[in-house]
C-alpha cells in the first residue's frame, strides 16, 4: 500500500463560512437602512477586507497541516515556511482515537489522535481531518500488516538460528 496524505477538510471551516454570511447580511442591512451613500463604500471595503482575511486564515490552516500514513509509519507535518514534523512507526502505535462533535459528525470531519508506546498523551493530533474513521481504519490496517511482517521475520530468524544450531551439532 502506498502512502496516503490527508489535509484538513474545507467543510470543517463551517464557522468561518457562517461568520462571512452573517457579516454579509449585517453589512447589507446596515448599508441599506442606516448609512448615507458616502459611508457605504467604506463599509463594503471593510467587509471585503474581513472576508479576505478569513479566507486567507482558512487556507493557511488547511495547508499548514499534512497527515501522512505510510505502510511503515504515520507522520504529521505542520507549518508552511518553517516545518515541524513528527513520525511514529506502525509497530510503536498504542492508541488511535477519533474525536468528533455533533456538527463534525454531520460534516464527517474530526480529530485523529495517535499515541505511541512508552510515552504519555498523544504525539500526533490532526484536527479537522476528512472521514476520520476511515483514516483510523487505514492506520489500523497498516499497523496489522506491519505486525504480521515483524512476526514473520522473527519466525524466519528463529528457524534460521535452529538450522545453524543443528548444523553445529
The per-residue pLDDT for range 28-69, each reduced to its tens digit, is 888 888 877 778 888 889 999 999 999 999 999 999 999 999
Count of Cβ atoms closer than 10 Å to residue 71 Cβ: 15
- Does residue 114 contact residue 75 with C-beta atoms inside 8 Å? no
Q: Where are the beta strands (DSSP E) in the chain?
A: 4-6, 65-69, 73-78, 84-89, 93-99, 109-116, 124-130
Q: Which domain holds residue 18?
A: 10-62
**Helix-strand-coil split of the chain, %, nearest 5:** 55, 25, 20
14-33 and 37-63 helices, crossing angle to 10°: 180
Check whether residue 113 and residue 52 sit in a common domain. no
Is pLDDT of 75 > 90? yes
Check whether residue 28 and residue 15 sit in a common domain. yes
Check whether residue 91 and residue 21 sit in a common domain. no
In the prediction, which pLDDT does 1 show? 58
Domain total for the chain? 2
Residues 2-39 have pLDDT tens digits of 889 999 999 999 999 999 999 999 998 888 888 777 78
Q: Which three cell numbers stand for residue 153?
A: 521475520
For 33, list phi and psi in degrees, rounded to 5: -85, -45
Bin 108: left if φ > 0, else alpha if -120 < ψ < 50, else beta.
left
pLDDT > 70: percent of the chain? 95
Check whether residue 75 and residue 145 sit in a common domain. yes
The two counts, helices (H) then strands (E), for the chain are 4, 7
Check whether residue 70 and residue 126 sit in a common domain. yes
Is pLDDT of 114 > 70? yes
Amino acid at each position: 500500500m502506498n502512502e496516503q496524505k490527508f489535509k484538513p477538510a474545507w467543510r470543517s471551516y463551517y464557522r468561518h463560512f457562517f461568520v462571512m454570511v452573517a457579516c454579509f447580511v449585517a453589512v447589507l442591512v446596515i448599508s441599506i437602512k442606516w448609512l448615507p451613500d458616502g459611508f457605504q463604500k467604506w463599509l463594503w471595503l471593510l467587509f471585503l477586507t474581513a472576508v479576505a482575511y478569513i479566507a486567507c486564515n482558512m487556507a493557511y490552516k488547511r495547508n499548514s497541516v499534512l497527515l501522512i500514513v505510510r505502510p511503515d509509519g504515520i507522520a504529521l507535518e505542520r507549518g508552511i515556511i518553517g516545518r515541524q514534523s513528527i513520525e511514529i512507526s506502525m509497530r510503536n502505535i498504542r492508541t488511535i482515537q477519533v474525536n468528533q462533535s455533533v456538527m463534525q459528525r454531520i460534516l464527517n470531519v474530526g480529530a485523529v489522535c495517535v499515541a505511541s508506546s512508552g510515552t504519555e498523551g498523544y504525539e500526533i493530533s490532526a484536527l479537522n481531518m476528512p472521514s476520520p474513521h476511515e483514516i483510523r481504519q487505514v492506520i489500523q490496517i497498516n499497523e496489522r500488516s506491519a505486525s504480521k511482517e515483524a512476526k514473520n521475520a522473527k519466525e524466519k530468524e528463529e528457524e534460521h538460528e535452529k538450522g545453524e544450531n543443528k548444523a553445529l551439532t
